[in-house]
Structure 1
């Protein structure tokens, strides 16, 4: 028998024993409750009801249905108490699943933010080459029109980048809130992943997937992979530049872009 089969068998046997134990507890409590209820009702009836007639149909029906309602309510409370630990475990697993999903979403949003940034670098470079007459494209007579279109595209990408930064801040806060609700020993690993994701500039999945797999396996008991994304070459071309300000500063010093 393989280790996996043996492990599954042990869990299955444990579940059966736990279920039987729970059923026995419910049966014992139910029996004790019914006996106690019958004794109390009989005592009250004998002591408080004058000239009572146990043969009265209405008395019997009222007693039976009142007992059933009370018994059902008590039974629900007992079942809830017995399954409290299972409910807590299920809730914690849901929190862990949300946490790993948020981490994956942070990775995707961070990739798109970097893509918007490098698109701005590319547009700025293209416009500058057109102004200097160094463009590799045949655009004679259309330089000003293309530069204007580039400026509009730059504003679009800037707006997109701003929105992504706001989303990333929200997702990061969600991650920290979920960490607080999850009993995990890999808090530092998650913080390191977020930090690495912020610093990463190209080869996102290649650089981050191993850490994500480790985190997901620790949280969920099974390894998950980061989503596959098509990464354009411009990410590597501009990987040496952290921000637009840095890009412009280096560019104005005469350093070759992307080298």
Structure 2
């Protein structure tokens, strides 16, 4: 702000002096007491004012260039963080849905013979079933509910396919958003493609797998907000206790 004030004072004083000199010069050139065309003076003054405004804008641009660059880098780093976070959470979501899908698919293995070996997870699913059913009654019950869950699993599978396509687009976003920091990423020896692929195929230890990349990019981008939110690994569900 101090630099701009100094430039403003000097430029304004300089151009005011120029305008005064312009009027004095024009006055000394008067012949026979006639000013001639006043429009000439007006055009000259406006030309000086346009030059003054242009130079003032150049000074403002020069003085704020570093601030603009810093804001641009901050915005780019924020975009990269958001893209990488979306990819991370989608990878976690895909794993969670895969576990749920496998759990629902395992209902195909359910028979009257192993129905009594349901795990606590399985008992929650079938808690509305009547108790003390005979073998035949259990078979009839399973013949009724298994097609329902088969239909559910097919819908879940279709959604997983869409999610896997979505995570591919998130990967593209991450790589695109990292472009402004290509030099610092290379200097920091960050294998961003390899690390992103590791996150996509994670099966467990989600936070520990992704955290090093977030920390490395925090240094490379200089963005203090480049942090990873901790979420626990998806919980594995089992339909049976000992089958």
Same fold per TM (> 0.5)? yes
1:124-139 equivalent positions in 2, closer than 5 A: 124-127=105-108, 129-131=109-111, 133-135=113-115, 136=118
8 Å Cα contact 1:197-1:208 kept in structure 2 = yes
- The structural deviation recorded for 1:168 is 1.3
1:126-205 equivalent positions in 2, closer than 5 A: 126-127=107-108, 129-131=109-111, 133-135=113-115, 136=118, 140=138, 141-182=140-181, 184-186=183-185, 188-205=190-207
Provide the residue aligned with 1:76 in structure 2.
Answer: 57
Provide the residue aligned with 2:87 in structure 1.
Answer: 106
Which of the numbers 3, 14, 20 marks the counterpart of 1:32? 14
Provide the residue aligned with 1:122 in structure 2.
Answer: 103
Structure-1 separation of matches of 2:219 and 2:112: 54
8 Å Cα contact 1:217-1:223 kept in structure 2 = no
- The structural deviation recorded for 1:91 is 0.6
Q: SS at the partner of 1:185?
A: helix
| CA spacing shift, 1:146–1:62, aligned 2, 3 Å | same
Structure 2: 5+ residue runs without aligned partners?
130-137
Q: SS at the partner of 1:186?
A: helix
Residues 25-54 of structure 1: CA deviation (Å, up to 9, x unaligned): 443344334444554566568769992189
Which one has a bigger Cα radius of gyration?
2
How many residue pairs match? The answer is: 219
Structure-1 separation of matches of 2:143 and 2:166: 35
Which of the numbers 224, 227, 230 marks the counterpart of 1:225? 227
* Larger RCO of the pair (alpha carbons < 8 Å, separation 6+): 2
Structure-2 separation of matches of 1:45 and 1:179: 63
Q: SS at the partner of 1:194?
A: helix
Structure-1 separation of matches of 2:193 and 2:31: 71
Residues 195-223 of structure 1: CA deviation (Å, up to 9, x unaligned): 22022112312332243233224323536
Residues 90-133 of structure 1: CA deviation (Å, up to 9, x unaligned): 11221011101211111001111111222221122222x22584
TM-score (norm 2): 0.70
| CA spacing shift, 1:179–1:130, aligned 2, 3 Å | same
Structure-2 separation of matches of 1:86 and 1:65: 32
Indicate whether 1:96 and 2:77 are aligned.
yes
Deviates more, 1:95-104 or 1:198-207: 198-207
Structure-1 separation of matches of 2:28 and 2:144: 102
1:40-51 equivalent positions in 2, closer than 5 A: 43=25, 51=34
8 Å Cα contact 1:190-1:215 kept in structure 2 = no
Q: SS at the partner of 1:200?
A: coil
